[in-house]
Structure 1
Amino acid sequence: MIEAFLAAFDALPEGSFTGTADGRRYVVTRSGFSGDKVQKLVAEELGGTDYISLNLYRLASGARLKPCEMPAQKVVDFVLALRPDPEVRR
């Protein structure tokens, strides 16, 4: 399961973007620190109250997921379901 989560997380764009998960729209920010050894994702539901926040530590011993005050399964399910909106070009 962690492999699927990491693949889905790594496929997400860096920076801020909008997307859909489980039929709900979110604004999402993905950022990296310490040479991307620490990555953070924060998502807020547009027009709703859902909130997702996690830190992902890329250690020599393997990846460590640290959700912020929510169950790990909630953030795993969210990342696996999240579909970023196509980029809008003008």
Structure 2
Amino acid sequence: MLLDFIHKLPIGYSEVLYAGRKYGVTRADFNSGMSIKVYAEELGGTNFISLNYYITSSKELLKPCEMPEEKVIHFLKNLQVIG
């Protein structure tokens, strides 16, 4: 479940390792945790990850921001929180 991977990220700013590179990540929760925004930017590089995640009464929705869903899922499943 993707929500488990998202919840590994602390709310606010943190740093993670992904694919051997360091990223600054911001996670913000809204609507009592039913909407989540994650934005990650490669520090010293050009890559970024941006997504919204919504929890409704009937399903959970991953909405990547202008990038393939597979890229976002790979990032979430393979990051390592370091600070």
Using the size of structure 1 for normalisation, the TM-score is 0.87
Amino acid across the alignment from 2:18: A
Aligned-pair distance for 1:6? 2.0
Task: Give SS of 1:35's match.
Answer: helix
What RMSD over aligned residues (CA atoms) do the two structures have, in Å?
Answer: 0.9
1:38 to 2:35 alignment: yes
CA radius of gyration, larger in: 1
Number of aligned pairs?
83
Q: Does 1:58 align with 2:21?
A: no
Q: Where does residue 47 of structure 1 map in the other structure?
A: 44
| In structure 2, C-alpha distance between the alignment counterparts of 1:48 and 1:72, rounded to whole Å | 21
Unaligned runs of 5+ in 1: none
Segments of 5+ residues of structure 2 without an aligned counterpart are: none
Query: SS of 1:8's equivalent?
Result: helix
Please state how far the C-alpha of 1:47 moved relative to its aligned partner.
0.5
Aligned identity (percent) is 43
TM-score (norm 2): 0.94
